[in-house]
Amino acid sequence: MEWQIIIAATIKIIVFVFLTTLPLVAMSVWAERRVSAAIQDRVGPNRVGPFGLLQAVADGIKFLLKEDFTPNHVRKGYFWLAPALVMVPALMTCAVLPFGSKLFGEKMVIADLDVGPLFVFAVASLSVYGIVLAGWASNSKYPFLGGVRSTSQMISYEISLGLSIVPLLMIYGELNLGSIVQYQAENGWALLPLWGEGLSAKGWILAVPVFVSFIIFMTSMFAETNRLPFDLPECETELVAGYHTEYSSMKFALFFLGEYAAMIIGSGLAVTLFLGGWSLPFGWLTPESTEAAVPWWHGLIHIGTFFAKVIGLILFFIVIRWTLPRFRYDQLMRLGWVFFFEIALFNVVLTALLLWWLS
């Protein structure tokens, strides 16, 4: 039995992480460029392959073939370690995300942990070490400032990020992401309680704190992934390229891809928590329970649904980037500490009171 679990997990890791998420990272880089081009009335990369879809491959080859230059003044060990520390946690969080219901009797999640959200936050917050190390080990002023900015920004927003999902966990009474999705599949998505129990007055009233949570969660996610409008650690007008100024070649690419990987995982988490994960709306094709058997074609549809939702959110990330201007650093900190922290805290209390009142 042990070896069967290991084989199943290995297959899931290979398929989900290396054959799906990483290509998705590459494709989102392409999408970013094409969408930004369209928004700015340009064409974007359209030379390599159909619609320029192979641009990502060309970029990858370029990164691999470029000179991997290590400046003389850096601390070499940490300098080499930093890009890995950015990329690895981003991919590790994939482990607990349920990307489908069941396929051939296997749960479509790599590790069916009972503390899914906590694992995600614990691991994702590790990536700040990569950025801090990059900024410090580069031994140069712009990366250093970028690293410092990044640390304070990520620590600040992790608080509101964590607090924002507490109301949801209170509503679900559950920390297993698979069960959370199953609950939403049966009773309406957290944001759209349009069927099952969600259709009741209780569901609608509870949608208010959930909506507030969603806003805070998404905004904090932007800050956590260093995406515009919160890309202050690497803003080129002030810091050249921030913490990865001194990096080149594939080491730079790891930072670059780490950002997109974090974005995908963030979107996956948002989909799982707020938008019903792999489930279809109105309870269609919903399995009886988390343990119930699912026909293989249902399983495939669920996987497709999950990724459709994730891609939709990624597009949202991209459009926001080309819509909003960058925040000033003091505004960023003010937003995090003065507004989101308080609102999230208040939201927890509000949800508790509502739950007590409704029960």
Partner 1 sequence: MAIVVKRPKLKLWEQLYLPAIAKGMRVTLGHFFKIVSGKKKVTMQYPEEKWDEHLPEHYRGAPALVTDEQDRERCVACQLCEFICPPRAITIKPEEIPSDDQWAKVEKRPKAFDIDMIRCIYCGLCEEVCPEQAIFLRKDYAITGTSREEMVHDKEKLYEIGGVRVGLVNKWNELK
Residues forming the site for partner 1 (CB under 8 A):
35, 37-43, 215, 319-320, 322-324
| Phi/psi at 235 (5° precision) | -70, 125
Query: Any idea of the CA torsion for 109, 112, 118, 120, to the nearest 10 degrees?
Result: -20
Q: Which residues pair with 91 in a beta bridge?
A: none
Nearer to partner 1 by Cβ, of 27 and 84: the residue is 27
Q: Cβ distance 230 to 223 under 8 Å? A: yes
- CA-nearest of 221, 224, 223, 191 to 208 is 191
Task: Give the C-alpha separation, 124 to 226, whole Å.
Answer: 13
Phi-psi region of 140 (alpha: psi -120 to 50; beta: other; left: phi over 0): beta
Nearer to partner 1 by Cβ, of 36 and 248: the residue is 36
Q: Calculate ∠ Cα 295-93-224, nearest 5°.
A: 130
The encoded tokens of residue 76 equal: 């070499």
CB of 322 to partner 1, least distance (A): 5
Nearer to partner 1 by Cβ, of 180 and 263: the residue is 263
Nearer to partner 1 by Cβ, of 48 and 320: the residue is 320
Nearer to partner 1 by Cβ, of 10 and 331: the residue is 331
CB of 46 to partner 1, least distance (A): 8
CB of 257 to partner 1, least distance (A): 24
CB of 319 to partner 1, least distance (A): 6
Nearer to partner 1 by Cβ, of 322 and 329: the residue is 322
CB of 44 to partner 1, least distance (A): 9
DSSP 243: G
Taking the mean position of all CA atoms in its chain, how far away is CA 232?
A: 19
The encoded tokens of residue 238 equal: 């002030």
Task: Give the C-alpha separation, 135 to 140, whole Å.
Answer: 8
Q: At what angle do helices 116-124 and 76-92 cross, to 10 degrees?
A: 160
CB of 35 to partner 1, least distance (A): 7
Nearer to partner 1 by Cβ, of 155 and 324: the residue is 324
CB of 37 to partner 1, least distance (A): 8
